[in-house]
Amino acid sequence: MNTDLAIETHNLGRIYTIRNRRERRVRREIVALQDVNLQIPRGELFGLLGPNGAGKTTLIKILTTLLAPTSGWARVAGYDVVREPQKIRPRINMVSGGESSGYGLLTVRENLWMFAQFYGLPSREANRRIEELLRRIGLEDRIHTKSSDLSTGLRQKMNIVRGFLTDPEILFLDEPTLGLDVNAARDVRRFVREWLDVHPDRTVLLTTHYMVEADELCDRVAIINQGQVLACDSPENLKRRLERDALFEIEITSPNGLTGAILEAIPGVRRALLTETNGGARLDLTLVADSALPDVISVLTERSVRVRHLTKREPTLEDVFVELVGKPMAEAEKREDEDEP
Ligand SMILES: Nc1ncnc2c1ncn2[C@@H]1O[C@H](COP(=O)(O)OP(=O)(O)OP(=O)(O)O)[C@@H](O)[C@H]1O
Ligand SMILES: [Mg+2]
């Protein structure tokens, strides 16, 4: 057992079995996680990036001992999630985005104070932490506001503070900025980062389907799709795989029957994604080298497609996802919807 690891999983899997209610016969099996192997050292801010239905929440539920795996094993803070959940629970905390927890009639302070009591925190220490954390996340002026009177974003900030209040060894944040506006999301990210700066031995595992969040915030990111971890590395290293490619974003007028497949038939074009926009389309091109660009422009010209704007850009985690999955994350999400019964 490696005690420097906050989280370790070995061939972790989870299958959900959907049974026919009357006959109790298995109607369908959903593989939510498959052979997940992660080693997350203490002190790391680790991100799980993946589309809807990728298995992120399932993994968090297993690691927080709320759900049993159906194969493999997982250790959190050195303890086995199935055999020693009571050792794990006091050491961790979890916050999910979009949750409407809290008692609306109580103020922000009262809500947090009550929660601190559940964890047996001395009252004075609880109050000290509440004030400090509210100040850090920019909510101190709402300390006496009833939580039912808070906007979604402010309530989410209160929930985030709740997660940090017990000073957990390992904190699980499931989509912490889901539905937040840009400023609130930025406040939450800064808060998480600063908390880890002050508590370097603490570990945070967060899930997100925001590429930018994973990129800017996380030390390392696991890209997960359909229950499988496809890549796991620092954002820089993940993007470095694509450095040899030349990436262009081209805004064009109406595509006039042009498709990605037509462009991908041109030598030197590794990938061409066409997205309809208001009154035109955007073309995301991955070329083996800049020198392939003139051939693409010729094909556009043959079809009377005009270029409105052309930029060469640096790789993003979205490109990494496309490289691994073969389609953008938004499309990977659509497929999942179609799968639903
Ligand atoms: N209780 C359940 N019973 C049956 N299937 C489930 C259950 N919970 C999740 N699933 C299925 O398992 C897969 C993974 O779901 P999960 O909620 O872990 O994904 P996620 O990455 O958290 O997605 P999202 O971004 O939408 O939160 C999906 O196909 C989902 O439909
Ligand atoms: Mg989820």
pLDDT digits (tens, 9 = 90+) for 179-222: 888 999 999 999 999 999 999 999 999 999 899 999 999 999 99
The whole-number pLDDT of residue 124 equals 94
Q: What is the pTM of this model?
A: 0.88
CA 68–ligand 1 middle distance (angstroms): 14
**What confidence category does residue 279 fall into, taking pLDDT thresholds of 50, 70 and 90?**
confident
CA 24–ligand 1 middle distance (angstroms): 21
The whole-number pLDDT of residue 341 equals 43
54 lines ligand 1 (CB under 6 A): yes
CATH number of 246-314, picked from 2.40.50.140, 3.30.70.100, 1.20.1730.10, 3.20.20.120 = 3.30.70.100
- Rounded to an integer, what distance in angstroms lies between the CA atom of residue 322 and that of residue 311? 19
CA dihedral of 189, 195, 200, 202, whole degrees rounded to 10? -90
- Rounded to an integer, what distance in angstroms lies between the CA atom of residue 174 and that of residue 61? 10
The whole-number pLDDT of residue 2 equals 61
One-letter amino acid for residue 274 of the chain: L
53 lines ligand 1 (CB under 6 A): yes
- Name which residue sits closest to atom 17 of ligand 1, judged by CA: 57
- Rounded to an integer, what distance in angstroms lies between the CA atom of residue 210 and that of residue 199? 25
* Tens-place pLDDT, residues 215-260: 999 999 999 999 999 999 999 999 998 888 899 999 999 888 899 9
- Determine which of 100-104, 141-145, 171-175, 301-305 has the lowest per-residue pLDDT on average: 100-104
Pocket test for ligand 1, best of 27, 31, 52, 333 (most atoms within 8 A of CB): 52
The whole-number pLDDT of residue 340 equals 45
The whole-number pLDDT of residue 334 equals 60
The fold of 5-238 is: Rossmann fold (3.40.50)
In the chain, ranges of CATH 3.30.70.100 domains: 246-314
The whole-number pLDDT of residue 101 equals 67
* Tens-place pLDDT, residues 6-23: 999 999 999 999 888 777
* Tens-place pLDDT, residues 56-90: 999 999 999 999 999 999 999 999 999 999 999 99
CB 62 within 8 A of CB 207: no
**What share of the chain has pLDDT > 70, as a percent?**
96
The whole-number pLDDT of residue 58 equals 97
Pocket test for ligand 1, best of 29, 31, 34, 56 (most atoms within 8 A of CB): 56
In the chain, ranges of CATH 3.40.50.300 domains: 5-238
